[in-house]
Structure 1
Amino acid sequence: MQATTVAIVTGASRGLGQALAMGLLGPDTYLCTVARTRNTELAARAAQSGAQLQQIQCDLADPAAAEQTATRIMGSLPTDAQRYLLINNAGIVDPVGQADQLLQASAITAALTLNITSVMLLTAAFVQASKPRQADSRILNISSGAGRNPTPGWSVYCASKAALDHYTRVLACENHGVRAVALAPGVIDTAMQHAIRGAAPADFPNVAKFQQLHEQGQLSSPEATAARILRYIVRDDFGDTVLDDIRNYD
């Protein structure tokens, strides 16, 4: 069956990425996911829904692997879809620690590669592949409030998300014929949040705040957030606000 929508989602093995991928499955969709591990639940759901699914196992924190994956994905996309979506969701908060303790270049480099370099690589390949097709092409970069507000202990994460925001603004003003948004998704109950709550206060002074959010049930579920994002990404005004927050919408 011909796909009317082609969607690419990174970080789809769990959490928000998995929920986004699940929500995109449908008989008229070609879905390509990128994650370090294969998602058997997603594969089973795709078979039930009649969706076309390609799962690519790749560690996007490895620059060479990220580059190869970007080229591979864009060379295999259906050419006659009506809409093309790229959702750059993969990200990592580590390394967590005060700025004067960030002494391991490998940890910093891996985080920056995953959070921003892989986004640039996938986006460049996506734009090159989708532009000749003159279809409705949209890029959604999952950002964070941490990129817009300094958070002690999150130097690397804040810096990478701030870079992601500004990169998205540059992409949008270059006018490549694609709509691009950097979207803060709010605080979600994911494995990342679990790791954050386990951080040492000396490394992350705001840990008590996140523990309290969890205890008070103020974290959104991945499924609820994904549903809101998928409604957002097909809006007619998508791209009008380049730096956005899903909490501004129902």
Structure 2
Amino acid sequence: MEKEAYIITGASKGIGLEWSRQLIDAGHIVIGIARTQPENWPGEHFLPFDLTRLEEIEDMIAQALELITKKIKTIVLVNNAGTIEPIGPAHANNAAQVSQSIVLNLTAPMLLCGAFISQLENSPADKKIVNISSGAGRKVYEGWSAYCAGKAGLDHYSSCLDAENKSVKVVSVAPGIIDTGMQEKIRKSEAADFPLIEKFLDYKKSGLLSSPEETARLLMEMTQRPDFESLPTILDIRNLPQAGKGV
């Protein structure tokens, strides 16, 4: 198996942590990025970083790339960090929370992608970008206007980026509904703020949530499949064709 290198944001919990763990167990290099390093971080490399510090993102990517040896033939950027907040009617949302939502869900990933591409412009390595999107970027959810807008923007940005850069394959993938801390926040919502609260409570009660472990496995398989370069830019992990069966 050829060793690959991954830079993963939001690596301190949820699918970011579990994907990192599975990659490291498989012998790959992972540079985890989050505000704080988890006590159970499974790897050697972790960069504590607050993604709202937009002016420092370029330097942070440079630090991450310095940890990757030149012998590595595949380098993957995973933009996984994000926030569901604020939850509530658009007209009632706090300005600071709306701004932070767009920064974390859209602006920071845009700058991370830009720094990754520009700093690896002369690298012979295969370069991949996986942006973790959401069905909320493709469907209306009352009470999630900021989150929906950020994820819709991430999808469209990914399409533009993939069209512009022939040497970097970009996908924006919805990972499904996963049993993570974000779902816990959603279940604590008031019905007035999020009219679909009962539906999401039922997902948990009925065991319909995917596990971080299973989702991470599917994402790892997707990124490593031999026809990755041929995948459409906008994806849903639950609807991927079998490798070799066409897309």
Q: What's the TM-score, normalizing by structure 1?
A: 0.90
Rounded to whole Å, the distance in 1 between the matches of 2:111 and 2:209 is: 31
**Preserved CA contact (<8 Å) 1:92 1:114:** yes
- Aligned counterpart in structure 1 of residue 105 of structure 2, from 101, 115, 133: 115
Maintained 8 Å contact 2:89/2:143: yes
Q: Equivalences for 1:1-250 in 2 at 5 Å? A: 4-26=3-25, 28-42=27-41, 45-46=42-43, 53-102=44-93, 104-239=94-229, 240-249=231-240
How far apart are the structure 1 equivalents of 2:180 and 2:160? 30
Q: What letter is aligned with 1:79?
A: K
8 A contact 1:131–1:176 mirrored in 2: no
Q: Distance in 2 between matches of 1:210 and 1:61?
A: 29
- Deviant stretches of 4+, over 3 Å: 64-68, 74-77
Q: Distance in 2 between matches of 1:114 and 1:64?
A: 14
Report the CA distance between 1:68 and its aligned residue.
4.0
Q: Deviations over 1:127-161 (max 9, x none)?
A: 12333122211110000000000110000000000
Q: CA deviation at 1:125?
A: 1.5
Give 1:26 shift. 4.5
Alignment root-mean-square deviation, CA = 1.7
Q: Aligned partners of 2:7, 2:141: CA distance in 1, in Å?
A: 30
Alpha-carbon distance in structure 2 between the residues aligned to 1:195 and 1:65: 29
Q: Which moved more, 1:110-119 or 1:180-189?
A: 110-119
Find the aligned partners of 1:81 and 1:74 in 2 and give their Cα distance: 11
Preserved CA contact (<8 Å) 2:4 2:74:
yes
Q: Structure 2: how far apart are the matches of 1:27 and 1:169?
A: 30
2:196 is matched by which residue type in structure 1? N
**Deviations 1:28-64, CA, capped at 9 Å, x for gaps:** 532111001112212xx33xxxxxx321111113323
Report the count of equivalent residues.
239
Q: What is the letter of the counterpart of residue 115 of structure 1?
A: N
Does the CA contact (< 8 Å) of 1:36 and 1:58 recur in 2?
yes
Instruction: Give 1:76 deviation, angstroms.
Output: 4.5
The unaligned stretches of length 5 or more in structure 2 are 243-247
8 Å Cα contact 1:171/1:180 also seen in 2: yes
* Shift in alpha-carbon separation, 1:65–1:107, aligned structure 2, 3 A: farther
Give distance in 1, aligned partners of 2:203 and 2:26.
38
Q: TM-score, normalised by structure 2?
A: 0.91
Q: Is the 8 A contact 1:66 1:121 kept in 2?
A: yes
Q: CA deviation at 1:17?
A: 0.5
State the identity %.
38
2:19 is paired with a residue whose SS is helix
Give secondary structure in 2 for the equivalent of 1:78.
Answer: coil
Q: Tell me, what secondary structure is at the counterpart of 1:120?
A: helix
Opposite residue 32 of structure 1, the aligned amino acid is I
